[in-house]
Amino acid sequence: MNVFEAVRTRRSIRKYLEKPVERDKLLRVLEAARLAPSAVNRQPWDFIVVTDPEVKRKLGAAYPRDWFVNAPVIIVACANPAKAWTRKDGEEYWKVDVAIAMQNLVLAAWEEGLGTCWIGAFDEQEVKKVLGIPREIRVVAMTPIGYPAEEKGPVVDRKPLEEIVHYEHW
Amino acid sequence: MNVFEAVRTRRSIRKYLEKPVERDKLLRVLEAARLAPSAVNRQPWDFIVVTDPEVKRKLGAAYPRDWFVNAPVIIVACANPAKAWTRKDGEEYWKVDVAIAMQNLVLAAWEEGLGTCWIGAFDEQEVKKVLGIPREIRVVAMTPIGYPAEEKGPVVDRKPLEEIVHYEHW
């Protein structure tokens, strides 16, 4: 699947088959995250792969949705702000770095026939408690991964290009 | 080019041919950004496309590099934090949203044979002044776009998977 097709057809999947995700596919998807660019190549990221039903159940306390808890795999994308590059005016880039890696993962998963769903609305402290994530680490996003049990057409609910693109100046 | 191949071979390009970027390719690349997911589908992004040599020259004040200023196209990716979703604990997601869209753009560009380079180390106030960007808007990243005038092999300088992936818990 080419890049544009992946971008155009990728949808947030909130229903998954019980079918497990093959290890080689999972590794390939993680590899796509690993290869991402980051500010000054600091790679300030860690990914936690959760497949144990008991751990997934506990994670449900941070994001109580059945489709999330029952997905075959959950990926938790973390940042280490202390390892990340910061602009000299103090602007932090760890969210950007981890988002780039996660979007690589999401698109690579889609190419493998696997659905994902960017999740931000979780209880971060609860995620950290359940997974034993150190105090200095931040959880940027989570996604379930699995074979989609729902079919969706290409993305349509976006603003038109004319609304979001400016030429030469704002 | 499939997604994984794009992820694996994409490199930051800092030398561009003088050859202009065709309008249909540029629109396709912007379309890839437009189609990105964002928290609660707020799409809190704007993209400024700069091709005018005089405007590019002025942008050089914010990021003084010849390869940047002389690239055929510069894209400036902006966020509107007031339009973006914020988690109930106050955590902001506008950097994540714009980073997702920008990475879509970067990978779609690579597929079109176009190089890019994520830039974060710019003087944000200077960019805003040169492009007339409103006070409430933030500049998240910039990238030049153009045909590469340098050849680079696939990504190699990344931490191994074992260093960044944890299973079941941290």
pLDDT tens-digit readout, B61-78: 999 999 999 999 999 999
Interface ipTM > 0.85? yes
Which H or E run includes B142? strand B138-146
Token look-up 């808007």 returns: B137
Q: What is the DSSP string of A52-64?
A: -HHHHHHHTTTS-
Beta bridge partners of A165: B47
For the full predicted model, state whether its pTM sits above 0.95: yes
Provide the chain A residues 75-104 that lie in CB contact (below 8 A) with chain B. Answer: 85, 87-89, 91, 93, 95-100, 102-104
Question: Using CA atoms, how far apart are residues A124 and A136, in angstroms rounded to an integer?
Answer: 12
Q: Do B87 and A120 touch (CB under 8 A)?
A: yes
Q: Which amino acid appears at position A49 of this protein?
A: V
Between strands A138-146 and A73-79, the pairing is antiparallel
Q: Quick one: pLDDT at residue B25?
A: 98
Q: Which has the closest alpha carbon to B144: B109, B111, B168, B169?
A: B109
Question: Could you tell me how far CA B117 lies from the centroid of its own chain?
Answer: 7
Q: Quick one: pLDDT at residue B169?
A: 96
Question: Using CA atoms, how far apart are residues A82 and A154, in angstroms rounded to an integer?
Answer: 39
DSSP E strands, chain A: 45-50, 73-79, 115-116, 138-146, 165-167
Beta bridge partners of A48: A76, B166
Provide the chain B residues 103-122 that lie in CB contact (below 8 A) with chain A. Answer: 103-104, 107-108, 110-111, 118, 120-121
Question: Using CA atoms, how far apart are residues B13 and A16, in angstroms rounded to an integer?
Answer: 39
Question: Using CA atoms, how far apart are residues A3 and A83, in angstroms rounded to an integer?
Answer: 30
Does any CB of chain B come closer than 8 Å to the CB of residue A39?
yes
Test the A interface: residue of B1, B4, B52, B125 with most A CBs within 10 Å: B4
Does any CB of chain A come closer than 8 Å to the CB of residue B53?
no
Question: Could you tell me how far CA A136 lies from the centroid of its own chain?
Answer: 20
Question: Using CA atoms, how far apart are residues A158 and B34, in angstroms rounded to an integer?
Answer: 7
Does any CB of chain A come closer than 8 Å to the CB of residue B157?
yes
Question: Using CA atoms, how far apart are residues B81 and A42, in angstroms rounded to an integer?
Answer: 26
Q: Do B2 and A7 touch (CB under 8 A)?
A: no
Q: Do B132 and A52 touch (CB under 8 A)?
A: no
Q: Quick one: pLDDT at residue A3?
A: 98
**Is CATH 3.40.640.10 what the domain over B15-146 is classified as, yes or no?**
no
- Strands laid side by side in the A138-146 sheet: A115-116, A138-146, A73-79, A45-50, B165-167
In sequence order, the 6+-apart residues with CB closer than 8 A to the CB of A5 are: none
Q: What residues does each domain of chain A span? A: 15-146
DSSP E strands, B91-137: 115-116
Test the B interface: residue of A3, A10, A48 with most B CBs within 10 Å: A3
Q: Quick one: pLDDT at residue A55?
A: 98
Q: Quick one: pLDDT at residue A98?
A: 99
Q: Quick one: pLDDT at residue B163?
A: 98
Q: Which has the closest alpha carbon to A28: B4, B103, B122, B19?
A: B4
Q: Quick one: pLDDT at residue B160?
A: 98
Instruction: List chain A residues with pLDDT less than 70.
Output: none
Instruction: List chain B residues with pLDDT less than 70.
Output: none
Virtual torsion, Cα A116, A117, A123, A124, nearest 10 deg = 60
